Amino acid sequence: MELFKAFMLTLASFFIVFVIISIFYLFTALSYGTLIIEYLLSQQILLALWVSISSSTIVMLISLLFGVPTAWLLANKDFKNKGLLETLIVDVPHSFPPGVIGTTYLFMFQTTSPIGTLLQNLGISLVNTFWAMILVKTFISAPFLIGILTMRFRSLRETELEVIAKSLGASEFKTFYTITLPLSKNAIVGGSARCWARALGEVAGTIVFAGAIIPGITQTMPAIIVFEAQTSLPASLTLALILATISITILILFKILSERNQ
Amino acid sequence: MVTVKLKEIGKNFGEVKIINGVNWEILKGELMVLVGPSGCGKTTLLKIILGVLDPDNGEIYFNQKLMNKVSISERNVGFVPQNFGLFPHLNVNENIGYGLKMRNIPKNKIEMLTNKFIGMLKLEGLGLRATNQLSWGQRQRVALARALAIEPSLLLLDEPLSAVDWASRKEITDEINRMQKRLRITTIYVTHDINEAFEIGDRIAVMHDGKIEQCDRAECLIKTPKSNFIAAYLKNRRVGK
C-alpha cells in the first residue's frame, strides 16, 4: 500500500512540477521590461489583443447559445445512435488538428464550392474575414462547453429533480429555467471559461481560413506570437507573457464567479 | 382523490420484461402498499403511474379517465422519491411552494398555503433554512409537505424510509399515516420491507417478477397466500400485526 502511494505521489509530483515550470518559465520574459512597455503601447498589438479577446468572447456566446440546447438534447433525450452523435460533436473536434479544420472550411467556402458559390451569390464572402475566424474557433472551442454541460445535465437527470419539478406541475421550459439552469451554474461558468480560453489560444485554423494578417480584423495575438517566434524569440516570449497574463486574469475572474455560485 | 386502475400494463427494457401484464386497482382515499423484493419492478410501475415512463402496453385510469397520454405535469400526482428530491438551491419555504408557483397561484396565497403545510408537518421556524441544514426526518417532512401542497389526486411514496435513520422511521410512518387519514388522499407507498408494509397499509399488493401476485388486506395475505412465493415472502415478516 505504501509502495503504491509512493508510486502515485512520485508520478503526480513530476507532472505538477512539469506544468508549473512550463507556466512560470514564461515569466522570464519579465526581464524584457522595456519590450513589454513598447508592445503595450503598440497599436498593432493592442488591436491584436482586442481581436483575440472580442472574437473569443463572441465564440463563447455563440457556443452558449447553441451548446446549451445541444447538451440538453444529448443528456435528456434517448434516440438511436446518440452515442455516435455525441462522439462526433464532443470528442471528434477535440482530436482534430485545428489546421485541418481551417483547410476543410477553406475548401468548403471557396468560391468554386457549392456553399461558397451560394454565399457569393448572396454577396457574402467568408474567407479571410473576422467571421471566418469565429467559425473555426467555434468548431474547436464549443465542444469544451458542450462536454461539461452534457455531463452536468446527465448527472442532474439521475437525481430526478427535474422529474419532481414536472410532477409538481412545471412545464418542460419552467423545469429547465427553474431547476436545470440554476443547478448548472457552475458547469456553465466553468464550461464557458474553458471554451473562451480555447478560442483565445486557437491559431492554426485561424491562420489557414482567416489569414490572420489583417490588423484589427483577423490578426490575433497567438498568430503574431507564432510569426514572431520565427524571427525574434524575445519578442515572441514577451507577447506570450502579455497574452498569458490577460488570459490567466480572466480565467481567475471566471473561477471567482463560479465559487460565488456555490 | 381518485381511484387508480391499471389494465394489463407491460414494460420492457430491451429484451428484459420488467412489468408483465399488471392489473391493479387502488381505491379512492386508500393507503395501498406495494411491496416486493428489490428488482421486481415496483419503482418502474410507480414511474409509469407518475408519467415518467410510458408503458409498452396497457391502460392507466384515474377515475374513469384514460391517463396514458396525459403528461406528468398535468397528472396532479404528488411524488416523494427515495432520496426526498429536495431542490438544493431553494429553501424550505420555496421547496414547499414550488408546485404552487408553477400553478401561477398568487404570491400571498402561496405564502398562506406554505405556512399551512409548515404547521401541519411541524416544520415551524425552518422555513428559511437551506435543505442541507435539515435532519433526515425534517427533509422527509419537507418533501411530503411539498407533494401535499399541490393538493394531489394521488400521492406516490417511493421507499420513503430508505434514506432515513432508524430513529426517525417511526416518526415518519406515523406522520404519513396521520396525513393520509386526515387528507384522505389516494396513496401508493412502495417498499421492499414486508414489516413496513404490514405496519402502514390498508391493503398490500405483493409484486414479484413484474406482476402483482396478490393484493389484499394484511390478515388475508397471511391466511390465504395465493402463491408459494407469497407464503415464503411473508415468512420474513416479524410477528406482530
ipTM of this complex prediction, to 2 decimal places: 0.89
Q: Do A167 and B72 touch (CB under 8 A)?
A: yes
Q: C-alpha cell of A133? A: 475566424
CATH number at residue B174: 3.40.50.300
Q: Which residues of A touch B43 (CB under 8 A)?
A: none
Tell me which residue in B73, B81, B87 faces A169 most closely, judged by beta carbons. B73
Minimum Cα–Cα distance from B75: chain A residue: A167
Which residue, among B117, B108, B170, has the nearest Cα to B147 in the 3D structure?
A: B117
- pLDDT tens per residue, range B5-32: 999 999 999 889 999 999 999 999 999 9
pLDDT at position A166, please?
Answer: 96
The HSE-up count of residue A114 (CA atoms within 13 Å, CB side) is 0
Does B241 have pLDDT greater than 70? no
The HSE-up count of residue B214 (CA atoms within 13 Å, CB side) is 18
Radius of gyration of chain A (CA): 22
Of B151, B181, B207, the residue at which a domain comes to its end is B151
When mean pLDDT is compared across A71-75, B87-91, B172-176, B184-188, the lowest value belongs to B172-176
Of B151, B170, B195, the residue at which a domain comes to its end is B151
pLDDT at position B103, please?
Answer: 93
Instruction: Work out how many CB contacts closer than 8 A connect A with B.
Output: 60
Same domain, B47 and B91: no
Looking up cell 414536472, which residue turns up? A166
Same domain, B17 and B91: no
Q: Which residues of A touch B75 (CB under 8 A)?
A: 167
Same domain, B91 and B37: no
Q: Which residues of A touch B147 (CB under 8 A)?
A: 168
Helical spans, DSSP H, in A26-125: 33-40, 43-76, 82-86, 92-95, 98-109, 114-121
Q: Do A182 and B98 touch (CB under 8 A)?
A: no
Same domain, B163 and B219: yes
The separation between the first and the last C-alpha atoms of chain B, rounded to the nearest angstrom, is 28
pLDDT at position B163, please?
Answer: 67
Angstroms from A27 CA to nearest CA on chain B: 41
The HSE-up count of residue B122 (CA atoms within 13 Å, CB side) is 10
β-bridge pairing B57-62 and B4-13: antiparallel
pLDDT at position B146, please?
Answer: 95
How many other C-beta atoms lie within 10 A of the C-beta of residue B104?
8
Same domain, B115 and B222: no
pLDDT band at B238 (very low <50, low <70, confident <90, very high): low
Same domain, B48 and B105: no
Same domain, B240 and B163: yes
Tell whether domain A41-260 is in CATH 1.10.3720.10: yes
The residue ranges of chain A whose pLDDT is under 70 are: 1, 261-262
> What are the C-alpha distances in Å from B174 to residues A225, B199, B200?
72, 10, 9
Same domain, B234 and B182: yes
Interface test with A, best of B49, B75, B82, B98 (most A CBs within 10 A): B98
Listed by start position, the domains of chain A span 41-260
> Residue A168 burial (CB < 10 Å; 0-12/13-18/19+)?
buried
Angstroms from B238 CA to nearest CA on chain A: 33
Percent residues over pLDDT 70 in chain B: 98
pLDDT at position B211, please?
Answer: 92
pLDDT band at B239 (very low <50, low <70, confident <90, very high): low
Angstroms from A73 CA to nearest CA on chain B: 17
How many other C-beta atoms lie within 10 A of the C-beta of residue B156?
24
Tell me which residue in B79, B89, B103 faces A183 most closely, judged by beta carbons. B89
Q: Do A182 and B89 touch (CB under 8 A)?
A: yes
Contact B157/B189 with Cβ under 8 angstroms?
Answer: yes
Interface test with A, best of B54, B71, B72, B154 (most A CBs within 10 A): B72
pLDDT at position A1, please?
Answer: 65
Phi, psi for B157 (deg, rounded to 5): -120, 110
Q: What is the mean pLDDT of chain B?
A: 90
* Mean pLDDT value of segment B193-205: 86
- For residue B142, what are the domain limits? 85-151
Same domain, B167 and B124: no
What's at B23, amino acid-wise? N
Of B151, B178, B205, the residue at which a domain comes to its end is B151
Distance CA B241, CA A223 (A): 80
Same domain, B70 and B160: yes
Interface test with A, best of B87, B94, B144 (most A CBs within 10 A): B87
Q: Do A168 and B50 touch (CB under 8 A)?
A: no
> What are the C-alpha distances in Å from B36 to residues B13, B50, B52, B107, B231?
19, 19, 21, 42, 13
B103 at A interface, C-beta within 8 A: yes
Domain count, chain B: 2
